[in-house]
A and B are shown apart, each in its own frame.
Chain A
Amino acid sequence: MEPSTITVKKGKPEAIYDTFERKAGKDKLTTHYCPGCGHGRVHKLVAEALSDFGLTDKTIFISPVGCSVFAYYYMNTGNVQAPHGRAPAVGTGLCRVRPDSVVISYQGDGDLAAIGTAEIIHAANRGENMMVIFVNNAIYGMTGGQMAPTTMVGQKTQTTPRGRTVMNEGHPIRMAELISGLEAPVYVERCAVTDTKNIMKTRKAIRKAVQLQAEKKGFSFIEILSACPTGWKMTPKDSIKWIQDNLEPYFKLGTIKDVSAEREPMIKPVPTNDAEAIYSALGLQKGKTKASTDRAIGEKRIKIAGFGGQGALTAGVMLANAGMNDGLHVSWIPSYGPEMRGGTANCSVVISDRRIGSPVFESPNVLIAMNGPSLDAFEADVTAGGTIIVNSSIVERKVKRSDVKVICAPLTDLAADLGIKAAANSVAIGVYLGHEKVFERERIYDVLKTSLKKKEALALNIQAVDAGYAFAQGK
C-alpha cells in the first residue's frame, strides 16, 4: 500500500452499540426488525449523523411505542422510552431541563399521527428545541397491520379488509404539511427510504436537522416514508416499489418548510430547581411549614384495607376530614379494583403536623386490616415500631411481625353488638384514636354529623366509635 493512502471503513456508526446487550435472546448483533424494514435504515442514518458531528454523548433519543419501541437496544445515546404518542411531551421536558442536549423524538405513524396527535401539534407549536423523526409506513406495523391515519385510500389492512374509504375513514393525514402550517417549526421535510437517491436525500435532511439541533434553532420535523414488508404482505423489493407507486404521489417528497436561515438560536426558559426561588414563588417559608395547630404528632401514614363494602375507604375519608378540621395536614388516596362490592379495597391516609410531600407511601406506620387478605398484603410493609390493628372477628391468623404494636380488636363483632354491622369501620377509627390520640373523638363526631343524615345511624356510629375507643383504652 502506498504511504499516501489509508483504508477507510464504512460500517456500523459509533452511535449504534457494538453488541445489543439489552436485547433478549442469544443474538446480540442483529436488530429485532423484519427483513427489509425501513427502521434499520433510518436508525443508521441518524446514528451516522450523530457520530459524524460528535453529538452521540449529547443526544437523548426517545423511543416511542411501535416497532421502534426497542430503539434503545441499539442507540448508544441517552435513551428514554415514552408511552404511546407521548414522545414529544417527554421530549419537551427533556429539552427544557437539558437545554444543551440534542433531543430526538423518533415516532411511527400510529404513534405520532393517531394516538399522539395532540402532543406533536403542541410541541411543534411551542417550537420546542427538538427534532422529530416521523417514520410513516401507512400502517400500524407492530400490532399486526391495522389502519393508521396515514393509510392510503383503498389500502387493505386488518381493520379495513375491503380497503380504506374516504366516506368511512376520511383521507390520509399529511402530517408534514400540517406541522409546516404552524408558525414555530423551523424545518419540515418529507423524504423516503426507497432507492439510493432518496436514501441519500433522507441522509441529507437528517444531517441538516441534527445540525439545526446543535445550533438550537428550534423544532425540526422529518417525515420518512418507509417500508413495512411484513405488514403490507409484500417482498422487501415490492414494498419499495409500492412506496414509489402509491405513497409518493400522495405524500409529496421535498422540503415543505425551511426558515432556518432567518431564525436565531434560542434557549427556552429552563425550569429552576433552586429551593429558595421555589419557596419564594409559592410564598412559603423555607424549612418546617407548620400546621394551624401547634400539636406535634409527626407524620401518620395510615393504610386502611378491607373487602369492598366494609367501609375502609370511607373510614379513611372520615379520618382525613377530621384531621383537616383539627388543623392538621391531611391527604387521602384510594386504591380499589373494579368491583363495587366483594373486591379488595384500600386507602392511604396521611395525617401530619407538616406539609405532606406525597399522598402515596410504601411503608405505613399504621395498618388497619379489616380482613385476612389485607393483613397478608400489607403486614410486611409496616415500619418497625408501627401499629397493626387487626379485625379479629374475621382474621383468624396471628400477626407474624414481632417488631410492631398489634391490637387485635373484634371490629365486626363490636359493631354487630350495637346492631349495626356496617359500622365496623367506625369501630376501627375508635380503636385507632383510643390507641393514638392524633385528635379528639369529637372531630370524628362532627364529620359523622355532616355525612350521616339519619339520626339513628348517626347515633349508632358515634356509639361504634366510642366502643372502639373504649376497647383500645381498656387494652
Chain B
Amino acid sequence: MENPANVKKKLPTVEIDLNQCKGCALCIESCMPKVLSLSPAYNQLGYQYAVYGGNGCTGCEACYYACPEPGAIAVYKEKKVKA
C-alpha cells in the first residue's frame, strides 16, 4: 500500500511501465471497459506497448492478472477505511 505523489489522475487508474511491456496485448484482451490499446510507437525493448487512454478504468485488476510481466502494470484505486 502506498500513495505515490505521481498518482494524480482520477482513481481508479492503471499505470503501465512502457519499458517493461512486451506488447503481447493480453491486457487489452482482458480489459472489460476496453480502455487499453497498443501504442503505434515502440519501446526500448522494441515492442509496441500497451497504453491507457486516461478514462474509464474500473479498477477491476484484470489487466494486472493478465500481464505476464511482474512489474509492467499497476492498478491504483481508492479503498474506504474505517475511521
Contact = CB atoms under 8 A, between A and B. Distances in A.
* B interface secondary structure, majority: loop
A363 interface: no
A24 B1 CA distance: 30
B7 to A, nearest CB: 6
Contact of A44 (B25, B65, B83): B65
B71 interface: yes
Given A5-B79, A45-B65, A203-B65, 12 more contacts: A6-B79, A7-B3, A11-B64, A11-B74, A16-B71, A30-B71, A37-B68, A39-B68, A40-B67, A40-B68, A41-B67, A41-B68
A412 to B, nearest CB: 63
Contacts of A11: 64, 71, 73-75
A310 to B, nearest CB: 57
Given A10-B74, A240-B29, A35 B20 contact: no
Interface size bracket, A side? 35 or more
Interface in B11-59: 11, 17, 19-20, 22-26, 29-30, 44-45, 47
7 contacts: A8-B78, A10-B77, A11-B64, A29-B20, A30-B69, A34-B22, A237-B26
A9 interface: yes
Interface string A202-228: 010000000000000000000000000
The winner among A7, A31, A34, A195 for most chain B CB atoms within 10 A is A7
Contacts of A4: 80-81, 83
Contacts of A7: 2-3, 7, 11, 76-79
Nearest to A15: B70
A35 B23 contact: yes
Contacts of B4: 9
Interface of B: 1-4, 7, 11, 17, 19-20, 22-26, 29-30, 44-45, 47, 61-62, 64-81, 83
Contacts of B24: 35-36, 229, 236
Contacts of A9: 1-2, 4, 74-76
A110 interface: no
A199 interface: yes
* A interface secondary structure, majority: mixed
A196 B77 contact: no
B70 A16 contact: yes
B22 A30 contact: yes
A236 B67 CA distance: 11
Contact of B68 (A13, A36, A203): A36
A45 B81 CA distance: 26
A38 interface: yes
Contacts of B83: 3-4
B70 A40 contact: yes
B64 A10 contact: yes
A37 B1 CA distance: 28
A12 interface: yes
A200 interface: yes
Contacts of B78: 1, 5-8
A374 to B, nearest CB: 51
Contact of A196 (B19, B25, B30): B30
A97 to B, nearest CB: 30
B29 A237 contact: yes
Interface in A59-117: 74
Given A195-B30, A237-B25, A35 B47 contact: yes
A240 B3 CA distance: 35
Contacts of B11: 7
